[in-house]
């Protein structure tokens, strides 16, 4: 216990744990080892745990005093399916799997705060430490909600945090309103009539239609969406034909992509307009278009009151002014599903300069251990302020 007074967040152990998680990354819904370690570190601190929400999710619950208010703090645990290319002592030992988004750091910061709060117990109310699986596009947050996260553990507010290169590791950005865009996918299949490449007039050319479509979708954001509303439409996948048959115009072309927005209205508009363009181009070329829009993640929009609470906690722990005019990201985060169930705020914690230019999802990215202390202090201050 003597060492703890000098080291309230068990920093050496937490850095070692962070690097251990980094060396043993696991993909979404496969976080068996990671969630086992999380459960073990929570249990050892006397925190009640509940496992199995969203398959590999873990919820730790700490009740202190007679306060009736309840809040949730969320860390995501999953890694990405990509190789780690940087050499470091704790380089990923799993093939084609890497913590390239810093979720290893998120996990450890929340654990450090949970264990500290379990020792100090300087609050009154209930805090749920939510260790979420599968944030990277595999639907972990929705799976936890569907498994009853908010009915088993009612919460008045819920908070999320993500590391951000470019801000210092003792610097935070806390901003009300939109933080992350909706992240939806779409797919178009142009169905023409295949023919000999030398006799295009005998068929219906889906390849040329696809070319027009690829150019035309960029008029949606440029000409249809309100210029004051951010939006993105990108085509990201394309398949048609065969390079071993360059004298054949194929029957079909398949195109897929992503659509991003910060408001439900613009999200609806993108869904409509991509279909309008696809069907219009298909009609021009006398072919068919099958269109499918798949809603994946709503935008993350910070609640004003929850943001104020997060701002106050951030101000209490960082040695510099909290950034309040940080631009939203066109990335998405399924924390949006938690924010739909309770007042939510999603904040940014600095990860220091981008080392060798490596940003999130880069094969050389690494969470900065210097940020652990700031993150752990932030979570602690938030609980102590919110559950006074």
Distance CA 81, CA 27 (A): 7
Residue 162 C-beta: closest distance to Zn ion, Å: 6
CB-based contact 305:190 (threshold 8 Å): no
Given the complex with Zn ion, which of 101 and 309 has the nearer CB atom?
101
Given the complex with Zn ion, which of 204 and 260 has the nearer CB atom?
260
Residue 223 C-beta: closest distance to Zn ion, Å: 31
Q: Find the residue with minimal CB distance to Zn ion.
A: 101
Residue 132 C-beta: closest distance to Zn ion, Å: 11
Given the complex with Zn ion, which of 100 and 155 has the nearer CB atom?
100
What pairs with residue 258 in β-bridges?
185, 234
Where helices occur in the chain by DSSP H, the ranges are 2-6, 11-23, 32-44, 103-120, 140-146, 149-152, 206-216, 218-219, 264-284, 304-317, 336-339, 372-386
DSSP tag of 182:
-
Rule CB under 5 A: which residues touch Zn ion? 101
Given the complex with Zn ion, which of 249 and 345 has the nearer CB atom?
345
DSSP tag of 370:
G
Residue 103 C-beta: closest distance to Zn ion, Å: 6
Give me the sheet containing 157-164, strands edge to edge: 48-53, 57-64, 125-132, 70-76, 157-164, 343-350, 172-173
Strands 252-261, 177-180: pairing kind: unpaired
Token pair 């302020």 is at which residue? 385
Report residue 73 as tokens.
């703090």
Residue 348 C-beta: closest distance to Zn ion, Å: 11
Percent helix, strand, coil in the chain, to 5, is 35, 25, 35
Given the complex with Zn ion, which of 101 and 349 has the nearer CB atom?
101
Given the complex with Zn ion, which of 101 and 111 has the nearer CB atom?
101
Given the complex with Zn ion, which of 76 and 205 has the nearer CB atom?
76
């Amino acid at each position: 216990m003597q060492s703890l007074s000098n080291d309230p967040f068990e920093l050496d152990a937490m850095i070692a744990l962070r690097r251990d998680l980094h060396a043993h990354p696991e993909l979404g819904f496969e976080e068996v080892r990671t969630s086992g370690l999380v459960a073990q570190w929570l249990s050892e601190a006397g925190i009640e745990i509940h496992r199995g929400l969203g398959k590999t999710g873990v919820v730790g619950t700490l009740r202190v005093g007679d306060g009736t208010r309840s809040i949730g703090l969320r860390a995501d645990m999953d890694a990405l399916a990509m190789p780690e290319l940087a050499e470091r002592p704790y380089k990923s030992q799993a093939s084609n799997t890497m913590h390239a988004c810093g979720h290893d750091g998120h996990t450890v910061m929340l654990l450090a705060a949970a264990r500290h709060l379990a020792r100090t117990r300087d609050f009154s109310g209930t805090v749920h430490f939510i260790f979420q699986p599968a944030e990277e596009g595999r639907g972990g947050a929705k799976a936890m909600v569907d498994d009853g996260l908010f009915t088993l553990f009612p919460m008045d507010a819920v908070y999320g945090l993500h590391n951000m290169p470019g801000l210092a590791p003792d610097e935070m950005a806390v901003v009300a309103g939109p933080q992350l865009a909706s992240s939806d996918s779409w797919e178009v299949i142009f169905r023409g009539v295949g023919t000999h490449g030398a006799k295009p007039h005998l068929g219906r050319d889906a390849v040329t239609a696809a070319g027009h479509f690829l150019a035309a979708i960029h008029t949606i954001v440029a000409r249809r969406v309100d210029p004051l509303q951010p939006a993105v439409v990108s085509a990201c996948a394309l398949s048609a034909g065969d390079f071993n048959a360059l004298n054949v115009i194929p029957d079909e072309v398949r195109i897929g992509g992503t659509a991003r927005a910060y408001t439900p209205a613009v999200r609806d508009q993108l869904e409509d307009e991509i279909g309008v363009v696809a069907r219009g181009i298909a009609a021009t070329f006398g072919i068919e278009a099958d269109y499918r829009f798949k809603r994946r993640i709503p935008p993350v929009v910070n609640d004003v009151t929850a943001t104020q609470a997060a701002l106050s906690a951030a101000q209490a722990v960082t040695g510099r002014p909290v950034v309040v005019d940080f631009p939203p990201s066109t990335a998405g985060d399924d924390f949006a599903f938690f924010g739909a169930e309770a007042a939510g705020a999603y904040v940014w914690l600095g990860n220091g300069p981008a080392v060798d230019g490596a940003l999130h999802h880069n094969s050389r990215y690494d969470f900065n251990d210097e940020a652990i202390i700031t993150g752990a202090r932030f979570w602690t201050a938030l609980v102590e302020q919110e559950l006074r």
